[in-house]
Chain A
């Protein structure tokens, strides 16, 4: 009750997010001196229509459609109370109607699961990346990726456990470019205090929640003194408010060097957009490849889940050899976000048990299994361990 009255006194813009009285768990509010960067933990939208959630599904291109079909099949099998609203985005047309429809659908439902939408970089610059448009329109400012070594997968480095938090909306991905003189192109990298404080706060809060000891900011402030300097300064300011968590910083080229030689020194890492792209791909490679790691994009009001390295996988599409693990684990992250923890843990456990069997490994992790075999095995694990499924009913 005290919490709800505190929440009611908040500025009006934050009220619709809180969903008070329904899920019974009002969002936590960060206080402190940073009034401008007060971030509220996202409360999932209230379940509609008799306890079933509606989630937007964007199949995307390449392996997206087939993997998301498997997710739907698995959810139906496990009686997960989630209905998918499918919105197709055609990446080859020049108009942006499709992606705007998708964005409207996500605004309506609050949560989405998506495959990667291909960007043909040979088209004129006015044809922007659809994925980027989605992220910036919905202000999904934080990309979170948890890289964990899976016991059944052979990699050069063992027991890696790194959380990477990447600023998702600005930085080098601002898409602001112009050709001032013929043959000279300028691309602008924008860093703002507001977004840097926001992402740093998100990182520290996440670290505290998950009991992590250290946050490392990755930057290149020795060269980009103003831009990355501002980012680093914001991280330091936020760090001072979390004395229980150790904060240090590292230059991005040294970071990549350390990642391939001594990855165990890293705990939680926070960084601007482009470095996040590089570091997250390096870490995904370290734990076994793009088929194993899920990623999540969080904003204040919306959350979108996908694979961490955002690959379309055009070359392996429709061949039944793609690794469904990343997409299945992403759907588990989505279920956690919707507070359906039991279902999330059930599916996650089944997926990890399947990963332990080398015979079921797909080609990207050195095996010869097919996608459908992996999904069948996951369903079998759920059936033997979990609550009643459609087949038993």
Chain B
């Protein structure tokens, strides 16, 4: 018994030390460089909005703007421009606006390219109900952590015979281990009480079975966090009836895609949902997941909330919790007040007015 307690203490200390090491260099003095990718459509205006708010909050961030339109590198492979890659490798933190997916440009989607370049294996989406933006669901407070590299989205498909297609879902031990470890570390670093693995191992016995086994193994090293497993259909059923019972959810790619969008729908849609992608080598790119909205681009009508909340998530990742709380509170207070809201939130103010209001609140908090 004593041996067990000692072992769990050691594992906890080691875990804490490891999590500190995985944090990028947090700067108490000096500026932290962040690679900013404005994106297309409404991307540039919401990026400007975020930069303005950060300036008002006096956050120690130095922005480096880069473009990531795909170029054909040596050998004919599509890749992101070298300046962008170098900037990201140096700063390790990125903030990205919405990117246009080209239909006939010949190269794969930019998001996919970024994911492959930086091995962004975890997609984290915290879904918290926004007071002031009313949806039928209140008190939602959960985080979906989705494996982002393999699973059903491996892209391996064949036509066996005419009329029969097979698509391969790939689950590997390392990727499952990696995502499970990230999920538990995230839970520990953010004071979350439980982690739930979402799977369909009753049907996909070997693949989801492997994923589940890895999650169970990792859970052994994190005894302070409660681990449960639940079928995907049960999660969906319970999520729409009572989302408050969920805390951190970890799952393979496809289930993650569906569930993270389901949870975004619970709190009000993609326009108010932050998202972060964690990669190997300490790289982290935070992004807004909505589209480029070309119909309102350039008209000062866009809602910067999603990108702003992703930026707040970025501050927390860097350890700047005070600044993060300040900006987040200002944003939520503005939405709760309902006086200055953009069109999608139910008001009729401009993006600049909304931004200005948040800046004012942030400055008032000094």
Interface residue ranges, A against B (CB under 8 Å): 119, 121, 125, 127-129, 132, 156-157, 172-173, 175, 177-179, 183-194, 220, 223-227, 230, 252-254, 256-261, 274-275, 277-278, 280-282, 284-286, 289-290, 309-311
Give bound CA distance, A309 to B166, whole Å: 27
Given contacts A119-B202, A253-B261, A256-B259, 20 further A-B contacts (CB under 8 A): A121-B205, A125-B205, A125-B209, A129-B203, A183-B174, A185-B206, A187-B169, A188-B167, A189-B152, A190-B164, A227-B166, A254-B261, A257-B261, A257-B265, A257-B269, A261-B269, A282-B240, A282-B262, A285-B237, A309-B237
Q: A119-B202, A125-B209, A187-B207 are in contact. Are A256 and B262 (CB under 8 A)?
A: yes
A197 to chain B, nearest CB (A): 9
A41 to chain B, nearest CB (A): 24
Instruction: State whether A193 touches B207 (Cβ < 8 A).
Output: no
Give bound CA distance, A274 to B257, whole Å: 13
Instruction: State whether B241 touches A187 (Cβ < 8 A).
Output: no
Give bound CA distance, A65 to B205, whole Å: 26
Give bound CA distance, A261 to B261, whole Å: 12
Partner of B237, one of A132, A253, A289: A289
Give bound CA distance, A289 to B238, whole Å: 8
Instruction: State whether A193 touches B258 (Cβ < 8 A).
Output: no
Instruction: State whether A193 touches B169 (Cβ < 8 A).
Output: no
Instruction: State whether B262 touches A260 (Cβ < 8 A).
Output: yes
Partner of B169, one of A189, A220, A225: A189
Instruction: State whether B169 touches A156 (Cβ < 8 A).
Output: no
Chain B residues whose CB sits within 8 angstroms of the CB of A186 once the complex forms:
168-170, 207
Q: A119-B202, A226-B159, A230-B165 are in contact. Are A184 and B170 (CB under 8 A)?
A: yes
Give bound CA distance, A285 to B234, whole Å: 10
A292 to chain B, nearest CB (A): 11
Partner of A284, one of B237, B254, B265: B237
A–B Cβ pairs within 8 angstroms, 30 of them: A119-B202, A121-B205, A156-B136, A177-B207, A179-B206, A183-B173, A184-B170, A184-B172, A184-B173, A185-B206, A186-B169, A187-B207, A189-B167, A190-B165, A193-B164, A220-B257, A225-B157, A226-B158, A253-B257, A253-B260, A256-B258, A256-B261, A260-B240, A261-B269, A275-B258, A277-B200, A282-B237, A309-B233, A309-B237, A310-B233
Chain B residues whose CB sits within 8 angstroms of the CB of A223 once the complex forms:
152-153, 155
| Residue B249, interface by CB 8 Å | no
B5 to chain A, nearest CB (A): 28
Instruction: State whether A125 touches B173 (Cβ < 8 A).
Output: no
Chain A residue nearest in CB terms to B202: A119
Instruction: State whether B206 touches A193 (Cβ < 8 A).
Output: no
Give bound CA distance, A309 to B232, whole Å: 12
B-side interface residues, number (CB < 8 Å) = 55
Give bound CA distance, A175 to B204, whole Å: 6
Chain A residue nearest in CB terms to B177: A183
A260 to chain B, nearest CB (A): 4
Instruction: State whether A121 touches B209 (Cβ < 8 A).
Output: yes
B110 to chain A, nearest CB (A): 14
Chain B residues whose CB sits within 8 angstroms of the CB of A281 once the complex forms:
233-234, 236-237
Chain B residues whose CB sits within 8 angstroms of the CB of A230 once the complex forms:
163, 165
Chain B residues whose CB sits within 8 angstroms of the CB of A177 once the complex forms:
204-207
| Residue B51, interface by CB 8 Å | no
Instruction: State whether B233 touches A192 (Cβ < 8 A).
Output: no
A46 to chain B, nearest CB (A): 35
| Residue B135, interface by CB 8 Å | yes
Partner of A226, one of B136, B165, B207: B165
Instruction: State whether B264 touches A193 (Cβ < 8 A).
Output: no
Instruction: State whether A282 touches B202 (Cβ < 8 A).
Output: no
Chain B residues whose CB sits within 8 angstroms of the CB of A121 once the complex forms:
201-202, 205, 209, 212
A18 to chain B, nearest CB (A): 28
Q: A224-B157, A253-B257, A278-B232 are in contact. Are A185 and B237 (CB under 8 A)?
A: no
| Residue B70, interface by CB 8 Å | no
A51 to chain B, nearest CB (A): 39
Instruction: State whether B258 touches A253 (Cβ < 8 A).
Output: yes
Instruction: State whether B261 touches A285 (Cβ < 8 A).
Output: no
Chain B, residues 177-205, CB within 8 Å of chain A (1/0): the string is: 00000000000000000000000111111
| Residue B171, interface by CB 8 Å | yes
| Residue B345, interface by CB 8 Å | no
Partner of A178, one of B155, B206, B232, B258: B206
Chain B, residues 127-153, CB within 8 Å of chain A (1/0): the string is: 000000001110000000000000011
Chain B residues whose CB sits within 8 angstroms of the CB of A309 once the complex forms:
233, 237
Partner of A185, one of B171, B259, B262, B269: B171
Chain A residues whose CB sits within 8 angstroms of the CB of B168 once the complex forms:
186-189
| Residue B210, interface by CB 8 Å | yes
Chain A residues whose CB sits within 8 angstroms of the CB of B270 once the complex forms:
257
Chain B residues whose CB sits within 8 angstroms of the CB of A194 once the complex forms:
163
Instruction: State whether A226 touches B167 (Cβ < 8 A).
Output: yes
Give bound CA distance, A260 to B162, whole Å: 38
| Residue B114, interface by CB 8 Å | no
A295 to chain B, nearest CB (A): 12
Instruction: State whether A286 touches B240 (Cβ < 8 A).
Output: yes
Instruction: State whether B203 touches A172 (Cβ < 8 A).
Output: yes
A2 to chain B, nearest CB (A): 34
Chain B residue nearest in CB terms to A181: B172
Chain A residues whose CB sits within 8 angstroms of the CB of B264 once the complex forms:
257
Give bound CA distance, A280 to B258, whole Å: 13
Give bound CA distance, A253 to B123, whole Å: 15
Instruction: State whether B170 touches A185 (Cβ < 8 A).
Output: yes
Q: A188-B166, A189-B152, A260-B265 are in contact. Are A252 and B239 (CB under 8 A)?
A: no
| Residue B314, interface by CB 8 Å | no
Interface pairs A-B: 3 shortest CB-CB? A257-B265, A285-B240, A193-B163
Give bound CA distance, A185 to B261, whole Å: 26
A254 to chain B, nearest CB (A): 7
Chain A residues whose CB sits within 8 angstroms of the CB of B269 once the complex forms:
257, 261
Chain A residues whose CB sits within 8 angstroms of the CB of B268 once the complex forms:
261
Partner of B203, one of A173, A227, A256: A173
Beta-carbon contacts under 8 Å, B257-280 to A: 257-262, 264-266, 268-270
Chain B residues whose CB sits within 8 angstroms of the CB of A129 once the complex forms:
202-203
Q: A125-B205, A191-B167, A289-B241 are in contact. Are A226 and B262 (CB under 8 A)?
A: no
A121 to chain B, nearest CB (A): 4
